[in-house]
Amino acid sequence: MSNTTFTQQVVHRATFLERDSLTIPILKLLQADGTTFENAVLPQIDEALSRKIFDACVFIRTLDERMLAAQRQGRISFYMTCTGEEAAVIGSAAALEAEDVILAQYREHAALRYRGFTTEQFMHQMFSNEKDLGKGRQMPIHYGSKQLHFQTISSPLATQIPQAAGVGYSLKMQGKRNVAICYFGEGAASEGDFHAGMNMASVHKVPVIFFCRNNGYAISTPTAEQYAGNGIASRGLGYGMHTIRVDGNDMLAVLAATQQARAWAIEHSEPVLIEAMTYRLGAHSSSDDPSGYRSKDEEARWQQHDPVKRFKLWLINKGWLSEEDDAALHSRYRQEVLDALKVAEKVPSPKLDEIIEDVYDVPTANLKQQLEDLKTHVAKYPKAYPKSSGRL
């Protein structure tokens, strides 16, 4: 049990490892024009899977565009887009089985869509209405679905990383041939919970895929101010973890890497780290304006690597999609999103009683008293509390 995991090479002269002696290759399968590299080893993918992936891409683009506008109009309080990172998120989600557990940061609603979260469910969450599965308690985009094995998102960064190690361990103990997948950004990887979770998963041989979206920025902070090492991938090796770096704008590369990661994690009961190199094409959130910290030229350069466009060209080359299909899909989802938005914003808020539910399994005496006092107060000043006073 002592330090015998790795063989030691002994030297007799002080010799430091060069800090850039480690080269980490990046997996690329798909070229900008939608053709694959000559020697590319493609993932398992057929027409049906391709269409399902593309469908989620178009939906998320449409949803992001429409809901960012809705936030600008003051109809919802907050929004975050996935723009530019659809291949990283959907490509990895498409490599999973339905009962693999997803733990996300917040920019992975595309994975939830891929699993079947409905347009209406997205809307109800964002409008915090009484049909929201989360009962209107969290900010917009903090989705969760027990049915789809997608654990509810929370704002504190990286907390889901050691949790994913625990979820993976539970799957192993329950004898399931499933993995947990844990998404996080390169900024979150600077949190202590990243270190804690990676090390716990490795030591305890947990079947979990750690999926890092390295999109260049944590709000305004560029990666040069986030770390001085070789990205996030180099750390995986330090934890004794199977590691790969992929082009995060290459749908086929992400899919291939995640398919293999899943197989490895289950077969060997070990964690795997995937670092997907991508670019956050949109603002950090609806509360952020990137023009204060990065150039339009830089954004324009990355527009040329649009992951959805690249995948679309591949589909067209394969004869599995036409420009007409693409246009029809966009217009169908524009309408669907708009219709659902109009419905969701008219659905009432959850009843005031919900404020004390689910703090514990049953409300305490203290909480019941606080609710009664609150209801009495709201009834006395109904105009000051329009969301609840009509439905006490």
Q: Is 174 in the site for another protein (CB under 8 A)?
A: yes
53 in Cβ contact with 220 (< 8 Å): no
Q: Is 294 in the site for another protein (CB under 8 A)?
A: no
Q: Is 280 a catalytic residue?
A: yes
Q: Is 199 in the site for another protein (CB under 8 A)?
A: yes
Which helix or strand (DSSP H or E) is residue 253 part of? helix 251-268
Interface residue with another protein, options 31, 36, 138, 230 (CB under 8 A):
138
Question: Least distance (Å) from another protein to the CB of residue 357?
Answer: 7
Residues in Cβ contact with 190 at an 8 Å cutoff, skipping those fewer than 6 apart: 218, 226, 227
Residue 17: DSSP 8-state = P
Would you call 150 helix, strand, or coil by DSSP?
strand
Q: Is 169 in the site for another protein (CB under 8 A)?
A: yes
Q: Is 135 in the site for another protein (CB under 8 A)?
A: yes
Residue with tokens 């089985």: 97
Q: Which is nearer to another protein, 137 or 330 (by Cβ)?
A: 137
Would you call 210 helix, strand, or coil by DSSP?
strand
Q: Is 156 in the site for another protein (CB under 8 A)?
A: yes
Please state, in angstroms and rounded to a whole number, the distance separating the CA atoms of residues 377 and 363. 20
Q: Which of 43, 147, 133, 124 is nearest to 90 (CA)?
A: 43
Residue 30: DSSP 8-state = B
Please state, in angstroms and rounded to a whole number, the distance separating the CA atoms of residues 106 and 83. 13
Q: Is 134 in the site for another protein (CB under 8 A)?
A: yes
Q: Is 197 in the site for another protein (CB under 8 A)?
A: yes
133: which 2 tokens?
């599965």
Q: Is 173 in the site for another protein (CB under 8 A)?
A: yes
Q: Is 204 in the site for another protein (CB under 8 A)?
A: yes
Contact letters for another protein, residues 53-92 (x by CB under 8 A): ----------------------------------------
Question: Least distance (Å) from another protein to the CB of residue 8?
Answer: 21
What Cα–Cα distance (Å) separates residue 137 from each residue in 47, 104, 125, 141, 305? 40, 18, 9, 12, 37
Interface residue with another protein, options 28, 75, 195, 375 (CB under 8 A):
195
Q: Is 239 a catalytic residue?
A: no
The residue from 284, 305, 310, 333 that is catalytic is: 284
Do β-strands 242-247 and 221-222 pair in parallel, antiparallel, or remain unpaired? unpaired
Give residues in contact with another protein (CB under 8 A): 101, 103, 132-135, 137-138, 142, 144-146, 151-152, 154, 156, 159, 161-171, 173-174, 180, 192-193, 195-197, 199-200, 203-204, 357-361, 364-366
- Which active-site residues does the annotation give? 280, 284, 293
